[in-house]
Structure 1
């Protein structure tokens, strides 16, 4: 979910990234305009590097306790798909036991979001490592 808060006439964008336990970490990009996101899935945790229109970059990590991690996939979310990426949620259909089994048993939001965006937007730079 995206939250836009107006403070003193300026907008601040906030959204969530998720770890392997589906626990959310709030990202606050301030009033900067986002150009694109570079998302890495590391041991089930989303690590998101935000590139702003002014050229600045900032990285946010959904886990604070990874000692050994490995990259399971990475992809780029361009500005025109940012809202869809932020609003992504797994559906009740995804939570059905038979569907979870068929889809390799994962209900983890970070995995679902990566697979969904790599399937829907072939123009995204997707690199899945298995």
Structure 2
């Protein structure tokens, strides 16, 4: 993957993983090296379509390919997958902090000294 901002990298990673087929390809290549032609046999789509999915994953830096004769062999990059996990953990921590602050606000007594919200007065119209 070409160098860019960390936000560009995050966009590329999450775009690549947003597709079900690409996530399945990732599972397979993380388990072991596969030729693109062997991967294509698992999907109800053309070989060219599978090649395009592999190319998206490669551009995102999630897989690497190497040539052995006429075969293109794909391998998953576990470090790239870990970076996705780290990004998700950071997002989770932000939201957990926000939720904790909301919990604190809801648990603290209101400024008027009452710990329960004031009742809502309604009038019936006939």
- Give the structure with the higher percent strand: 1
TM-score, length-scaled by structure 2: 0.22
- Give the structure with the higher percent helix: 2
Larger Rg: 2
